[in-house]
């Protein structure tokens, strides 16, 4: 593992232009996708339809509004 890392650093050295823009500090839960706004660099989560909340932490009960006939 270390040998691969060292070889990578030698072959592809870091420079001042190196920038990782897709690393979110605020990880999304429940398979949510972290996205970064290109204008203000703010992180947010794109949740699946079964979850909501800032970090996709709220499980949405799809039958809570009584759309289900049998429960």
Could you tell me the CATH number of the domain that includes residue 52? 2.10.25.10
**Between β-strands 51-52 and 33-36, what pairing exists: parallel, antiparallel or unpaired?**
unpaired
Q: Examine residue 37 and state whether it is found in any structural domain, yes or no.
A: yes
Query: Can you give the length of the chain in residues?
Result: 71
CB 22 within 8 A of CB 45: no
Give the count of beta carbons closer than 10 Å to the beta carbon of residue 24.
13
Q: Per-residue pLDDT tens for 53-67? A: 999 999 998 776 666
Q: Examine residue 12 and state whether it is found in any structural domain, yes or no.
A: no
Q: Examine residue 24 and state whether it is found in any structural domain, yes or no.
A: yes
Q: Examine residue 54 and state whether it is found in any structural domain, yes or no.
A: yes
Q: Which domain holds residue 36?
A: 20-58
Report the C-alpha gap between 39 and 31 in whole angstroms.
Answer: 25
Domain count, the chain: 1
Mean pLDDT calculated for residue range 37-64 = 90
Q: Examine residue 4 and state whether it is found in any structural domain, yes or no.
A: no
Q: Examine residue 65 and state whether it is found in any structural domain, yes or no.
A: no
Supply the pLDDT for residue 56. Answer: 96
């Amino acid at each position: 593992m270390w040998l691969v890392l060292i070889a990578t650093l030698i072959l592809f050295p870091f420079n001042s232009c190196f920038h990782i823009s897709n690393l979110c500090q605020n990880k999304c839960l429940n398979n949510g996708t972290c996205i970064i706004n290109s204008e203000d660099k703010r992180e947010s989560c794109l949740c699946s339809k079964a979850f909501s909340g800032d970090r996709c932490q709220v499980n949405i009960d799809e039958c809570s509004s009584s759309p289900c006939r049998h429960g």
